[in-house]
Amino acid sequence: MVHEQRSSGRKANPSTNSDLRDTARSAAGLDPESWSAVLAPRLAHFAGVARTEHVTRAAQEMQVPQSTLSRALVRLEQDLGVELFARRGRAVALTPAGHTFLASVERALGEVERAAEAVRADADPTSGKVAFGFLHTMGSETVPELIRAFRVDHPRVRFSLVQNYGEAMIERLRAGELDLCLTSPVPDAPDLVARRLDEQKLRLVVPADHRLASRRRVRLAEAAEEMFVTLEPGYGMRRITDNLCEEAGFRPRIAFEGEEAETLRGLVAAGLGVALLPPPAVPRPGVVELTVTAPRAVREIGVAWLQGHPDTVPVAAFRRFLLSRRGKLLPG
């Protein structure tokens, strides 16, 4: 909250530099009249003088003109409406209010320092971090193998891993929370760059005692009267399931909706329906997985990133690695 005491105590500065600072603060999402926007430029000056208790020595250490430092301190006290220093010539001593203010300023500057070190570390060419999103169904086998292979040549690169469904990952990509994501279907949007890497065959999963369980292959239309268990709307596999069933000439009757493929397999094993799913990492008892001969049942897997998003060296290296796996992304 902006206090009226500060507003009335501040003197208007019509200079171009002040206007530019206000513009920059607005662009960064700061209210130009907020405490953080007003005080931030002078906090390091305050902490430097408080540490040395001498304006001249602080100016020399901080490599700023003494007059600039003195004006910054006066302006800071005017903004706050509080005296932070008791002055004795060039020497100064903190007032009780100054001591209180210094404790918070040092914490704030420490957080800024740690944040700067963190983002620099994330961008380090050899030990930086990649924020990587991928589908749940790729978490048990595909992604661990990809990272293992990548780290043969980049052993110190770190990863922040996010598992989610496709649309949620695209949202996080747009929000700047992810650098890259493996998703399906491959997105087509003007603000994204996407490249197809591989395709994965889908199977009709039926209970072990199902009427189709003795078969190896099936046309999807033969399951038109079955109850389906599917992923929830918004998931890429749900959209693919709906489209394939429509192509086969029917609309699936949905018995259950879930969030993970292996949960759906469990529901199938319990006799609660059938499902279109990618192959499991480990075969599950109680179900039979049938090849779908018509329509062609596959899902495309691709990598996506934000158009124009600046890459760190580790992100660029991992993206090149993923693109080099085109056609051999998936195990087996």
Position 77 in a domain? yes
What is the CATH classification number for the domain harbouring 89? 1.10.10.10
Position 332 in a domain? no
Instruction: Compute the distance between CA of residue 22 and CA of residue 37 in angstroms, rounded to an integer.
Output: 8
In the chain, beta strands by DSSP E: 85-88, 91-94, 129-134, 158-163, 180-183, 192-201, 203-207, 217-219, 227-231, 253-258, 275-277, 287-294, 298-306
User: At residue 28, does pLDDT exceed 50?
Assistant: no
pLDDT at position 19 is: 44
Span 173-179, average pLDDT: 94
Position 329 in a domain? no
pLDDT tens-digit readout, 228-239? 999 999 899 999
pLDDT at position 152 is: 95
Span 133-153, average pLDDT: 94
Position 174 in a domain? yes
Contact in structure between 237 and 184 (CB atoms under 8 Å): yes
Position 253 in a domain? yes
pLDDT at position 155 is: 95
User: At residue 121, does pLDDT exceed 50?
Assistant: yes
Position 331 in a domain? no
Span 181-194, average pLDDT: 96
Task: State the pLDDT confidence band at 34, using cuts at 50, 70 and 90.
Answer: low
Is residue 22 located within the same domain as residue 65? Answer: yes
Task: State the pLDDT confidence band at 113, using cuts at 50, 70 and 90.
Answer: confident
Is residue 86 located within the same domain as residue 141? Answer: no
Span 80-106, average pLDDT: 87
Structural domain containing residue 14: 4-122
For the entire predicted model, the pTM comes to 0.70
pLDDT at position 126 is: 86
User: Which of 13-27, 129-143, 277-291 shows the lowest per-residue confidence on average (mean pLDDT)?
Assistant: 13-27
User: For the chain, what is the domain count?
Assistant: 3
Position 97 in a domain? yes
Task: State the pLDDT confidence band at 27, using cuts at 50, 70 and 90.
Answer: very low
pLDDT tens-digit readout, 262-303? 999 999 999 999 999 999 988 999 999 999 999 999 999 999
Please state, rounded to an integer, the average pLDDT across all residues of the chain. 87
User: At residue 5, does pLDDT exceed 50?
Assistant: no
Residue where a domain terminates, one of 122, 142, 167: 122
Contact in structure between 163 and 139 (CB atoms under 8 Å): yes
Is residue 193 located within the same domain as residue 288? Answer: no
Position 254 in a domain? yes
DSSP string, 49-94: HHHHTBHHHHHHHHTS-HHHHHHHHHHHHHHHTS--EEEETTEEEE
**Across the chain, which distance is largest between two alpha carbons, in Å?**
96
pLDDT at position 2 is: 36
170 phi and psi angles, rounded to 5 deg:
-65, -40
pLDDT at position 122 is: 77
What is the CATH classification number for the domain harbouring 318? 3.40.190.10
